[in-house]
Structure 1
């Protein structure tokens, strides 16, 4: 049944072929590629090869998400990574929210990742934990579209499957436990006012990764979905600077 859901307009995966430097761009939990497309387009405009996979179960219908596991989301990102590896010598990974969790996972598992850029990355969301005790509830209210900028909406699900929260929680735990395995350069963006992921997640990441080159940048004008918010240009500009510095 789940296969019958159409991909929503704007939630399609995106690929831009460019030079031998690749950037893997991952969206977050219950969101879609729409949240990362402006970044992908900006990086492609600089000549980079860019891949923005649609995480399995995302960008269709929340009942579709309910059927997927965190291993499915990892597989979606690994598929994008393979696509880039066939075309590029050097690969950077960036992600928003759970996309940041996936970015950390990739850096933990694949030492060849040249550098990572995290945007409000999630490794511990205490507010989600009571959900583990829920019986008989399938869906909760949406968590998407936490944006300060007026008139901007994230293409995200209007409901959050309880089953999917039961997948993201152990995934965050696994990634958090292995933070010391991250040794590549890291650029961390954190919104001081985030209603989805507690901002202290970013400081914990900064403190526990083994990277010699790491910096944390605080964003004052954006909420959780900073890639669509007032700090979008800062994220793009600082990421491009970071990549140039490392290459």
Structure 2
């Protein structure tokens, strides 16, 4: 179950499944994972199907493949632990987390929604992303532009310039397992659009408490059309936190410690509620 780039940090009987974003790697969740583990949680940082390889590996998978790997990871974690199970994801990983909560309301006790991305409409995104990306599923069906990629541009989701330089160097070195791919292949972006539509329809089915954290000036996904939309649509208690000193990659940017501390407090409160409830 644990693939080459996934990792499991054993702790107590309460567990957190962490999910990275499109073209990303489990590394982008490592700091958060260590923080949660230090607070006592068992943490599984999974690798999505098709990721940590090259663009061809990614394009051979669909959003259903990505989600199946998430469900498999949940069952892996559930087989090891007897306490509360939580899920958290960054960017596309946040969408997969919400879908998992909608599909498994009895297992998932809380959701960490970090930089959720339904729409690529942040301030650094080119004008055509808002109109062109939504038609990518049609282009994929027609087998058009399938060899093209959208190459990310500065600031690459990072406000911290030092961290940005390190990540960009790794990203363009060709080591996709360390920092992910530099480009987003159009076929994968098409699958992302299909996933976003599916999860948006399922948001009213989310009943587990949601911690929604998003950069106020997110360069990839606008806080109002993404995070606020989730807050208004889920049928669950929500805690909304906007971050002023981070961009999209909030799990590794300047306020990463705030993300850890807020997530620990949020999950701890739920664990305490279940511990106090009548058996």
TM-score normalised by length of structure 2: 0.81
Following superposition, which runs of at least 4 residues in structure 1 exceed 3 angstroms of deviation? 130-134
The offset of 1:243, in angstroms, is 1.0
Corresponding residue number in structure 1 for 2:254: 230
TM-score normalised by length of structure 1: 0.91
Aligned partner (choices 129, 137, 146) of residue 134 of structure 2: 129
Give me the whole-angstrom Cα distance separating, in 1, the residues matched to 2:208 and 2:184: 33
Give me the whole-angstrom Cα distance separating, in 2, the residues matched to 1:92 and 1:225: 20
**Count of matched residue pairs:** 237
Contact 1:139 1:159 survives alignment (8 Å): no
Contact 2:150 2:186 survives alignment (8 Å): no
Larger mean CA deviation between 79-88 and 124-133 belongs to: 124-133
The offset of 1:137, in angstroms, is 4.5
Corresponding residue number in structure 2 for 1:3: none
Deviations 1:30-68 (A, max 9, x none): 111111011111111222111011001111112211111
Deviations 1:139-195 (A, max 9, x none): 223338311101211612112111111111111101001111011111100111122
Give me the whole-angstrom Cα distance separating, in 2, the residues matched to 1:163 and 1:78: 23
SS at match of 1:189: strand
Aligned partner (choices 231, 235, 258) of residue 210 of structure 1: 235
Contact 2:58 2:188 survives alignment (8 Å): yes
Gaps of 5+ in 1: 1-6
The structure with the largest alpha-carbon Rg is: 2
Mapping 1:32-111, distance limit 5 Å? 32-88=25-81, 89-111=83-105
The offset of 1:131, in angstroms, is 3.5
Gaps of 5+ in 2: 121-128, 169-178, 272-279
Deviations 1:197-243 (A, max 9, x none): 222200000000001x2111001111111111011000000000001
SS at match of 1:197: coil
Aligned partner (choices 112, 121, 130) of residue 117 of structure 1: 112
* Alpha-carbon spacing, 1:32–1:142, altered in 2? closer, same or farther (3 Å): farther
The offset of 1:124, in angstroms, is 3.2
Give me the whole-angstrom Cα distance separating, in 1, the residues matched to 2:196 and 2:136: 15
What is the root-mean-square deviation in Å for CA atoms of aligned residues?
Answer: 1.7
